[in-house]
Structure 1
Amino acid sequence: MNSFNETIDLLSNGEGRESLLGMLRGIEREALRIDDSGQLAKDGHPEKLGSALTHSRITTDYSESLLEFITPVNTNIDTLLEGLTQTHAYSVKNMNGQSLWPVSMPCYVGDEKDIPIARYGSSNNGKMKTLYRKGLTHRYGPLMQIIAGVHFNFSVSEKLWDSLYENSDKSLTRQDFISESYFGMIRNYRRLVWVLPYFFGSSPGLCSSFIKGQSTEFDFKTTGKGTLYLPYATSLRMSDLGYTNQEQEQLNISYNSLPEYLNGVGEAIRMPSESFAKIGVKVDGEYRQLNSNVLQIENEFYSPIRAKRVAKSGEKPSEALARAGVEYIEVRALDVNPYSPIGIDASQVKFLDLFLLYCLLLSSEKTDVSAEAEIAANLKAVVLEGRKPGLALSRNGQQVALNEWLNDIFEPMTRIAKLLDGEGTQYQDALTQWHAAINDPSKTISGRVIDDVVNQGIDHGVWVKQLSQQYHEYLSNYPLSESTMAEYEAEAAASLQQQKDVETQPSVGFDEFLADYFADLAEPATAVNQ
């Protein structure tokens, strides 16, 4: 593989720039619905938002109260974010006065039993989605499941793949070259994933109701009426308080190639779990979980990045990857940005473009057990004390100051920014904005949160509720044209009808449906060479 500088030189012309600018992006933003008092909404998914089972842009994640807004794929950042804003605005205008909780860590929750699991109707597919969430409840408890995040989907243009493949040794088919390149990108991303919570982590503190008196390994400081925080933390969402699964720590799924990854995921969904077996699968005629394996289904595997391909109807994620290779990647390490009414802003998207292109174009060594341990330790250090003065990380076994490593990364990212900008400056401006946060951690998002909540002495719950009210007003008054409103109303109605159509079709019993769905667990998915 060519070196990073050789590849950039290769792309440093009009055609190369155009191929780089053809990036495709999509955003998925999660947000809890809350009532006037700032507590979790307990009612069902608002009917005017359509069917959570079939709507393409508005659905639910774990809970009826945890909305998920999905953008169509887009090559233009402004169009992408405008579409996401319109979806937020339409939803807020149709939520019976309820608001959105604008941070990752949950609002005040009284009894965990009151958190309503998402419902998707009476079809077998809908019942399976609800049962999967019921299994998550039994396995990890509901509180962890209502932590919100932002997912960023990313792929590069066919033109770029043409250029990169043409300049490779062509020892692989084009499809396998693309998959191998994406897995190289994933390995580099995982080595550098700590960069994202450093700049974009926004959960250095949380409401003490999330802990509910349980003992933790963290030496929390307190402020206000019950705000817990770690002085230098960036993202408690990505710590052991967040969505983690100790059962998964034994999996050691490899990212060294698509076949190794698929084999690892295949083993994981077949691996029995003693602790989950104790829950029971079907007890007194009622299902508690889909099965008692370490993973009920592939979606349960927690990773800060995923290799993806759009699946055909009835196809599992690994089957899609095995059929035709990697199509795009999903970045899952982003907290909700509390300083944006839609949870992410344009400067972050531009940074992500540059960061992910850097991870793709940089040569990528395969990882072993020691490299994986280093990756995990660096991420944990930045999540818990990323803004600590003088913090050092481990790079290839050598200690290096965090700010020194960041400067090393920004240098090649600046080359990409200049190439993308051409005569403009938008990518360079985004880099300049975030570069300022290297030597001044108060300019990171978590630094701003600490300043607002701790230094200004505003209780976390009060601060978040103020933001929620501010964004509710903004989105309630956000102008949507008649045609845009009509389009959203039509999709909501069509999605409800689509769900009804699915539910009235003849189908097998649920037991048989599940048996059919898991019938292939005896055979792992393997990547095919074409």
Structure 2
Amino acid sequence: MIESKYFYKGNFGIERETLRVDSQGKLAQTRHPFGNDEHITRDFCENQIELVTPVCSSVAEAVEALAELDKTARKVLAPNSESIWLYSNPPHFDSEDEIPIADFTGDHSSKRAYREVLERKYGKKLMLFSGIHFNFSFSEEFLHEINTENEDFHSFRDSLYLRLYKQLMTHSWLLVLLTASSPYYDASLDKDGKSGIILSEYSSLRNSKRGYWNKFLPILDHKSLRTFTGSIKKHVITGSLYSASELYLPIRLKPKGVNTLENLAANGVDHIELRMFDLNPSAPLGIDKRDLEFAHLLILYLLSQPDFDFTPELQEKAVNEHKNAALLEPDAKLLERGDDILENMTVHFSDNEHALEIISFERQKLNGRKVCNSIVNNIYE
């Protein structure tokens, strides 16, 4: 493990998507009541709140910031008898007419135009899926410290995050296995007018093949940040993607400031975003702090793993394994590989008692998935 007093430090942020519902548990039909607050905004639709924490110095601080935003949002919603729907899958709705596109206007009207493209391409129902995005960056002190060859700092930083991106893409399935929380859904998601709660074949609909994916597999070039952004731009130029924001993969590299491909290419990587976390209905804020702490530990662990050529075949394999992990009964081999990774992480963080507690917490959940798999197999044998 890297010896550095900055090893566990970094910058952390949380984005939480949820739906606003009325006193009957139906999608709220009122306008977004938070104005242009940059920390309480909208995602796809007018009744979908996105809480965006400021940049924080720890997971705990980010969760505290999320709690304050959640408290503020609930206080504003209460007079209208509205509340927050803390499930990744939406409540019952009668038709897509109840899903108004976020009404961005003025300088932000391009955001509405983008959402109208998404509506035509994917339909509104898909856009109701909600979840947690976890943002992380290493401290600059840490990056300078591990840049032992004194490379150009920006090039070193971009290369490191690109290497980490590849590792996280190939291990995103593990986080799905450990945090999937949405096996039930309302039948209206299948067809307008239908009702009733359905137990699906997925533990997480939004991470499954029914969730957020492009209509094709975007193959990217990971040799350098220049080739990476260039390969995304090619998909935009050909019309396969409307913009880089439409790249529906579970990991993203993000620039500082305005999130555009041009900004990323010109100014480099500021942080990395993990987009696969379901809302956890058993956690008051929709996320268990321990799951984000584990994600941080996984990032640190993967930093120690060797670089590799992320070939088109491996990119396809990564996406397929991510979708497989979202099954109610995932491939038993994934469960075993998950066990191996947790064992390796236990050794890697053997001198950190808190890290070991977090890994043990995740191991218990993984063991639970194994038991469930075994029960299902016995039922169908």
* 1:289-341: CA deviation from partner (whole Å, max 9, x where unpaired): xxxx32222211111010111135xxx62222222221110111111111112
Farther-moved stretch of structure 1 (402-411 vs 196-205): 402-411
Larger Cα-atom Rg: 1
Counterpart mapping for 1:73-92 below 5 A = 73-92=55-74
Q: Does 1:299 align with 2:265?
A: no
- Secondary structure of the residue aligned to 2:154 is helix
1:131 aligns with 2:141: no
Is the partner of 1:160 in helix, strand or coil? Answer: helix
Structure 2 residue 35 is matched with structure 1 residue 50:
yes
CA distance in 1, matches of 2:266, 2:347: 36
User: Compared with structure 1, are the counterparts of its residues 333 and 254 closer, same or farther at alpha carbon in structure 2 (3 Å cutoff)?
Assistant: farther
Letter in 1 for 2:206: R
Deviations 1:266-302 (A, max 9, x none): 111111xxxxxxxxxxxxxxxxxxxxx3222221111
Q: 1:354 aligns with which of 297, 314, 339?
A: 297
Note if 1:114 corresponds to 2:78: no
Deviation sequence 1:342-385 (CA, Å, 0-9, x none) = 11121111101101111222112111122123212222221124
- CA distance in 1 between counterparts of 2:110 and 2:124 reads 18
For the residue of structure 1 that corresponds to 2:91, the secondary structure is coil
Q: CA deviation at 1:407?
A: 2.4
Structure 1 counterpart of 2:379: none
Quick one: structure 1 residues 443 and 338, their matched pair in 2 at CA, closer, same or farther if it must change by over 3 Å? farther
TM-score by length of 1: 0.66
Task: Give 1:152-167 correspondences, 5 Å limit.
Answer: 152-166=134-148
- d(CA) in 2 for partners of 1:412, 1:352: 15
Three-state SS of the structure 2 residue aligned to 1:19 is coil
Which of 341, 344, 347 is residue 412 of structure 1 equivalent to? 344
- One-letter amino acid of the counterpart of residue 305, structure 1: I
1:77, CA displacement in angstroms?
Answer: 2.6
3-state SS, counterpart of residue 144 of structure 2: helix
Partner Cα separation in structure 1 for residue 114 and residue 316 of structure 2: 30
Contact 1:182 1:360 in 2 (8 A): no
Distance in 1 between residues matched to 2:8 and 2:25, nearest whole Å = 42
Q: Hey, what's the Cα distance between the residues in 2 that align with 1:330 and 1:380?
A: 18
Match of 1:258 in 2: 225
- Segments of 5+ residues of structure 2 without an aligned counterpart are 377-381
Closer/same/farther in 2, CA of residues 213 and 37 from structure 1, 3 Å limit? closer
Q: Deviations over 1:101-138 (max 9, x none)?
A: 111111111110231111123x2x32211111112111
**Kept after mapping to 2: 8 A contact 1:60/1:68:** yes
Structure-2-length-normalised TM-score: 0.91
Figure out how many residues of one structure are paired with residues of the other and give that number. Answer: 372
Residue 182 (structure 2) aligned to one of 203, 214, 232:
203
**Per the alignment, in what secondary structure is the counterpart of residue 194 of structure 1?**
helix
Q: What is the RMSD computed on CA atoms of the aligned residues? A: 2.3
Q: Which residue in the other structure is 2:335 paired with?
A: 403
Choose the corresponding residue for 1:36, options 10, 23, 32: 23
Task: Tell me: CA distance 1:179–1:443, structure 2 relative to 1, closer, same or farther (3 Å).
Answer: farther
**Equivalent residue letter for 2:15:** E
Conserved? CA contact 1:119–1:130, under 8 Å: yes
Partner Cα distance (2:55, 2:278) in 1? 21
Partner of 2:160: 181
Deviation at 1:244, TM superposition (A): 2.1
SS at match of 2:7: helix
1:395 alignment partner in structure 2: none
Matched residue type, 1:104: S
Contact 1:186 1:255 in 2 (8 A): no
Match of 1:344 in 2: 287
Are 2:312 and 1:381 aligned? no
Contact persistence 2:95–2:192 (CA under 8 A): no
Q: How does 1:431-470 map to 2 (within 5 A)?
A: 431-441=359-369
Structure 2 counterparts to residues 451-490 of structure 1, below 5 A: none
How far apart are residue 443 of structure 1 and its match?
A: 8.9
CA deviations on 1:412-453 (whole Å, 9 max, x unpaired) are 32245445x3xxx32221111111122221899x99xx9xxx
Contact 1:30–1:149 (CA<8 Å) still a contact in 2? yes
For 1:151, what is the secondary structure of its paired residue? strand
Q: Which structure would you say has the larger RCO, counting Cα contacts within 8 Å and 6 or more residues apart?
A: 1
Counterparts of 1:428 and 1:296, CA distance in 2? 43
Q: Aligned residue for 1:227?
A: 197
- Letter in structure 2 aligned against 1:50: G
Q: Which residue of 2 aligns with 1:320?
A: 263
Structure 1 residue ranges (4+ consecutive) displaced by more than 4 angstroms after TM superposition: none
The equivalent of 1:467 in structure 2 is: none
AA in 2 matched with 1:384: L
Indicate the SS of the match to 2:303.
Answer: helix
Q: CA deviation at 1:159?
A: 2.0
Q: Check the 8 A contact 1:234/1:384 in 2, yes or no.
A: yes
Partners of 1:235 and 1:243 in 2: how far apart?
Answer: 11
Q: Does 1:364 align with 2:307?
A: yes
Deviation of 1:208 (Å): 1.1
- Summarize the alignment of residues 416-435 of structure 1 with structure 2, pairs less than 5 Å apart: 416-419=348-351, 421=352, 425-435=353-363
Tell me, in whole angstroms, the C-alpha distance in 2 between the residues paired with 1:213 and 1:240: 21
Mark the runs of 5 or more structure 1 residues left unpaired by the alignment.
1-7, 215-224, 272-292, 393-400, 451-530
The answer on whether the counterparts of 2:279 and 2:287 sit within 8 Å (CA) in structure 1 is yes
